[in-house]
């Protein structure tokens, strides 16, 4: 039967459900990944399930977010993660080895496999033909315990690429063009599958840049074929035996098609404060810039940094700004050192940072007050850089390096001839900073190391048939998980301490939220469209739950955050009539009869004396999980039954 790449992979992994757009399906998961900002909680949850060893084909734990060690907290967490990996049979990528998505692409990602990761940019692996999705940490824990991962069967959007990119135009400009067309929620419920003759002109890391930032459209994932380009990449990584050909059939049918002529694209830029606010660099014109930051999981590959180094060769960065580079992995750094291109960046005045997420997650290199920062990252949400009033622009490495040279936002085509990049015939492979899983019997003897910042998991009770309380906050459209649960060097180290991190919920919008939630014994959140877009961070659900939030009522949800709310027992409801959003205000007293969550329910606004119809997209299983108080108590009960039956 003819099919798309998406259908071919899903057909081999669906264990339950109907292959129909919008219907819930359960997928067998081959691999998982975590990073340290989300991993500590995910592994505490995995421990609580009570499984003796991870049941996936393989799982990998990375340290790449919380590497700024200003006190004991992050260092303690790293040791906890390492000991957990040794105890439960995981690979462990040590601090300094690189950014999870870049290293996973280089050393682990397999065409045709399914992957979920506790980071929203896990679809990076789609660049190699892996069906990769971001998810909450609890979903990762459950997948490691052998449970399937449930999604709504997606619509499949074919992105038809023709032509070839012009000099100084790159993969980042492709995904910025996609975002310009469909914005930050145009991909919800969809897979973006790339096909066509233009695909052959893009390297695996080019493709990974596109699938990485495809996350910002709200899509389930993005994916490219596994073809001769993929085969060559895996051969250079010494993993040629893992290659399979994975192409769409000639008569594959897509639910929608987006046509992009690569040769027609020009350098693009996402303006503050949304990845979907896209224009051309030429149209935006000359803007004085205070900082240029190059790297992140989107643009820290060897190809990208070779471009930067060669453009900088013999030049010095502009005197009115500072520039940073964060390489994606040690492999990238070793090649840049070997070729002398690392020296070219240093001589030009660039500050070389650690092989980690760094500035992208607000972990250092915050720009000055009121700054204009030009970055090759994937998000430019207000305040994410660490500076509340900074304006962040998202661009390609080519545009970033041109800007670093001139001091102004600059179309890189003005730099003259494109430098010739020489890529290696074989990549340097040195996995000495990746600890392999221990044998079963040896693993059982490992003692898990727990620092004082690792607090016990909070326990949540089952939910009754009605919810009552006050509206704690009312927010607008496109509220991100950064708004709900900020990141950065001050807050990220508290990820394994829910009582402490909960003090910062909604800090960027209402610094009084924590107090109001405590004084009113929890309550409700009211929001507009696309609530919870952005990061997969489950703390944006877990910390509000700890504060007593009972339900979130919105016009629409972002996919991963919706799943996280269900996982932690917060009822996600939507307005039947979106205009009813205007009929509720902060501190209104509400009562909602949710019953068994099988159909519409009615909200009674006791303050205003009106009634509002609410609905939801919950399956019967979602409702069962919610009523149990969340996925952790539900999965423990389910696993207990399975063990008894065995």
Name the catalytic one among 375, 537, 559, 561: 537
616 is catalytic: no
Q: What are the φ and ψ backbone dihedral angles of 620, each rounded to 5 degrees?
A: -60, -40
Alpha helix (H) residue ranges in 362-459? 397-406, 440-443
Name the catalytic one among 30, 59, 65, 296: 65
Largest pairwise CA distance in the chain: 72
| Beta-carbon contacts of residue 372 (< 8 Å; ≥ 6 apart) | 287, 288, 289, 290, 291, 390, 391, 393, 409
Name the catalytic one among 30, 36, 64, 139: 64
Name the catalytic one among 61, 535, 556, 638: 535
Q: Judge whether 67 and 364 are in contact, CB under 8 Å.
A: no
End-to-end CA distance of the chain: 38
C-alpha to C-alpha distance for 399 and 414, rounded to whole angstroms: 10
Name the catalytic one among 36, 77, 119, 139: 119
| Beta-carbon contacts of residue 585 (< 8 Å; ≥ 6 apart) | 471, 474, 607, 608
Reading the block at residue 576, the tokens are 């039947």
Q: Which of 644, 646, 634, 641 is nearest to 139 (CA)?
A: 634
* Bridge-based pairing state of the strands 601-605 and 589-593: antiparallel
Name the catalytic one among 322, 335, 375, 379: 379
By the 10 Å C-beta count (0-12 exposed, 13-18 middle, 19+ buried), 441 is classed as exposed
Q: Is the dihedral of CA 492, 496, 502, 505 positive or negative?
A: positive
36 is catalytic: no
Q: What is the DSSP string of 514-555?
A: HHHHHHTT-EEEE--TTBTBS---THHHHHHHHTTEEEEEES
Helices (H) and strands (E) in the chain, counts: 21, 27
C-alpha to C-alpha distance for 502 and 516, rounded to whole angstroms: 12
| Beta-carbon contacts of residue 261 (< 8 Å; ≥ 6 apart) | 162, 163, 198
Q: Judge whether 34 and 120 are in contact, CB under 8 Å.
A: no
535 is catalytic: yes
Catalytic residues: 64-65, 119, 379, 535, 537
């Amino acid at each position: 039967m003819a099919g798309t790449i998406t259908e071919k992979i899903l057909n081999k992994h669906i264990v339950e459900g109907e292959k129909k757009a919008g219907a819930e399906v359960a997928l067998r998961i081959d691999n998982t990944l975590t990073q340290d900002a989300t991993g500590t909680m995910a592994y505490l949850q995995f421990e609580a399930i009570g499984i003796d060893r991870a049941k996936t084909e393989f799982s990998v734990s990375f340290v790449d977010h919380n590497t700024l060690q200003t006190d004991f907290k992050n260092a303690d967490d790293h040791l906890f993660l390492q000991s957990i990996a040794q105890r439960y049979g995981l690979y462990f990528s040590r601090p300094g080895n690189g950014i999870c998505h870049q290293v996973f692409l280089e050393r682990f990602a397999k065409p045709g496999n399914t992957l979920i990761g506790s980071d929203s940019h896990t679809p990076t692996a789609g660049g190699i033909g892996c069906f990769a999705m971001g998810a909450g940490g609890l979903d990762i824990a459950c997948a490691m315990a052998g449970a399937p991962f449930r999604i709504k069967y997606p619509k499949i959007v074919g992105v038809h690429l023709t032509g070839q990119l012009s000099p100084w135009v790159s993969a980042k400009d492709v995904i910025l063009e996609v975002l310009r067309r469909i914005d930050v929620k145009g991909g919800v419920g969809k897979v973006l599958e790339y096909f066509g003759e233009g695909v052959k002109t893009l390297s695996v890391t080019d493709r990974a840049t596109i699938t990485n930032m495809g996350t910002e459209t709200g899509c389930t994932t993005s994916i490219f074929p596994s073809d001769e380009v993929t085969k060559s990449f895996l051969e250079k990584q010494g993993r040629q035996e893992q290659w399979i050909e994975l192409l769409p059939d000639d008569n594959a049918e897509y639910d929608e098609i987006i046509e992009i002529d690569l040769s027609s694209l020009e350098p693009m830029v996402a303006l503050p404060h949304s990845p979907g606010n896209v224009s051309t660099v030429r149209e935006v014109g000359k803007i004085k810039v205070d900082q240029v930051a190059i790297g992140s999981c989107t643009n820290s590959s060897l190809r990208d940094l070779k471009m930067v180094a060669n453009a900088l060769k013999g030049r010095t960065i502009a005197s009115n700004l500072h520039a940073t580079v964060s390489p994606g992995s040690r492999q990238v750094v070793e090649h840049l050192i070997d070729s002398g291109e690392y020296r070219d960046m240093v001589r030009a005045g660039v500050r070389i940072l650690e092989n980690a997420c760094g500035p992208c997650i607000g972990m250092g290199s915050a720009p000055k007050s009121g700054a204009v920062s030009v970055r090759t990252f994937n998000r430019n949400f207000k305040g994410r850089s660490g500076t509340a009033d900074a304006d962040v622009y998202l661009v390609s490495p080519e545009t970033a390096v041109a800007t670093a040279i001139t001091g102004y936002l600059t179309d890189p085509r003005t730099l003259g001839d494109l430098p010739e990049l020489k890529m290696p015939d074989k990549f340097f492979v040195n996995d000495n900073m990746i600890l392999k899983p221990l044998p079963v019997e040896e693993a059982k003897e490992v003692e898990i190391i727990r620092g004082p910042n690792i607090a016990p998991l909070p326990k949540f009770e089952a939910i009754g048939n009605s919810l009552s309380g006050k509206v704690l906050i009312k927010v607008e459209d496109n509220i991100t998980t950064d708004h709900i649960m900020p990141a950065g060097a001050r807050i990220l180290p508290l990820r394994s301490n829910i009582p402490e991190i909960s003090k910062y919920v909604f800090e960027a919008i209402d610094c009084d939220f924590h107090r109001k939630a405590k004084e009113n014994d929890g309550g409700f959140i009211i929001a507009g469209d696309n609530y919870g877009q952005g990061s997969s961070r489950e703390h944006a659900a877990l910390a509000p739950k700890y504060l007593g939030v009972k339900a979130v009522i919105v016009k629409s949800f972002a996919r991963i955050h919706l799943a996280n709310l269900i996982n932690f027992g917060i009822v996600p409801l939507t307005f039947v009539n979106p205009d009813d959003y205007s009929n509720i205000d902060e501190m209104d007293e509400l009562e909602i009869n949710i019953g068994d969550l099988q159909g519409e329910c009615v909200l009674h606004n006791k303050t205003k004396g009106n009634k509002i119809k609410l609905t939801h997209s919950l399956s019967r299983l979602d409702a069962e999980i919610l009523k149990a108080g969340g996925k952790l108590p539900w999965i423990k009960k389910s696993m207990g039954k399975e063990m008894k039956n065995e």
